[in-house]
Structure 1
């Protein structure tokens, strides 16, 4: 059993393994009171005035209590983050990292801007951890890439990827700018910077699939439905 878990862990791609490890370690550390969540949460004033820039990162790594909700997000992180990195971003680790960086920046920007809007600032001030949002952002991007593939949670619930989750602003922003907008204009605004590409040494990968096919075809019943 232990060996199987070790092999499963070692076979994870680098970004997924690193993120999962950091998230589990920090959440366990907080549960054991080794680390204080007060040193991790997103606080714009502490970031700007006291230069506590680590909060821009650590708020994406803490998933609060180790309960069913924690298991839920670790499942999605381990499974769908891995699927994205191994399939959609296969051989493009730098692009995958840039996607996460873009999503984290959008989510942080939403909280910061929302905190400056009268009558809404109090609501946004309560958003101090964005780890769950970033996880669902990855699930959303994966669902847009694979809209006809059925998803399941621990084998208990099965649902169609295109309908989960709703309203993911960061994920949809990335999907539009990376997949839709380039097809409309021929320009790619989210091209990964050379500096980030230099951090990851990806091998060239040849994928045997027809051109311009990004996801599985719809099932027969979808095609013939009135």
Structure 2
């Protein structure tokens, strides 16, 4: 049982595994803290905090295995770009707990890159994927939460989506979010040269030399016997 759980855990893409683990540990700490508050507040906090990691894991993994498949460096760079921009906006708005905003950002990018997927919300509402961030924001409003966090996540997600997917494809547009080379060195596996072709070998395991003449061990200047 433990081995199967470990194997399943290690099959999660690297970035999703690392970030989700950090969020789950943080959530666990929050749950321990809420036990010192009233029963109602504790139940509400537990429900809300558990829902966020589920959303995070689901859409983070779908992004990493989907449009960012084989592009780990680009995925990490999106994390950095979104985190820095969100932190700057959060400082101006006096917002310090931005985990939900980051999750909404991931949801937004995924939803815009999968516009034709049909979604169902608790079996009550059917809609296409691009409306998902707004549905989640409405759900937060029903729970009595401030929607400023959700709007921040949607805003940062839209900025990334526009700069990465929209603007480069416009007349006169160009790619502005270039992933630094150090990211590719650290996170992307080296790719083989598609033009590389190994030298053929004969049956004796002797490779052809660079001049295109097979080395047979016989002096090439020796004249053939008459």
SS in 2 for 1:151: strand
Decide which of 95, 98, 117 is 1:130's aligned counterpart: 98
Tell me, yes or no, if structure 1 residue 101 matches structure 2 residue 80. yes
Answer yes or no: is the 8 Å Cα contact 1:80–1:138 preserved in 2. yes
**Residues 72-129 of structure 1, C-alpha deviations (whole Å, 9 max, x = no match):** 21111111100100110000001001011111111112123xx3xxxxxxxx22x211
- Matched residue, 2:189: 202
- What is the Cα-based RMSD across aligned positions, in Å? 2.6
Matched with 2:131 is 163
- Give the length in aligned residue pairs: 163
Larger radius of gyration: 2
Judged with a 3 Å threshold, the aligned counterparts in structure 2 of structure 1 residues 195 and 203 are, in CA distance, closer, same or farther, namely closer
Q: Which runs of 5+ in 1 are unaligned?
A: 34-64, 116-123, 206-226
State whether residues 16 and 82 of structure 1, in contact with CA within 8 Å, keep that contact through their aligned partners in structure 2: yes
SS in 2 for 1:129: coil
Alignment correspondent of 2:169:
183
Distance 1:153 1:68, change over 3 A: farther
Task: List aligned pairs for 1:49-88, cutoff 5 A.
Answer: 67-88=46-67
Q: Which segments of 5 or more consecutive residues in structure 2 lack a partner in the other structure? A: 34-43, 135-150, 193-226
Match of 2:108 in 1: 140
CA change 1:68–1:140 in 2 (3 A) is same
> Offset at 1:202?
2.9
Flag the 1:7–1:159 CA change in 2: closer, same or farther, 3 A.
Answer: farther
Q: In structure 2, what is the equivalent of residue 6 of structure 1?
A: 6
Higher relative contact order (CA 8 A, sep 6+): 1
Normalising by structure 1, what TM-score? 0.64
CA distance in 1, matches of 2:185, 2:85: 23
The normalised TM-score by structure 2 is 0.64
Deviation track 1:172-212 (CA, whole Å, cap 9, x = no partner) reads 0000000011111352100101122221133659xxxxxxx
Superposition misfits of 4+ residues, deviation over 6 angstroms: 153-157
Contact 1:28 1:66 in 2 (8 A): no
In the alignment, is the contact (CA less than 8 A) between 1:91 and 1:203 conserved in 2? no
Q: Which residue of 1 aligns with 2:20?
A: 20
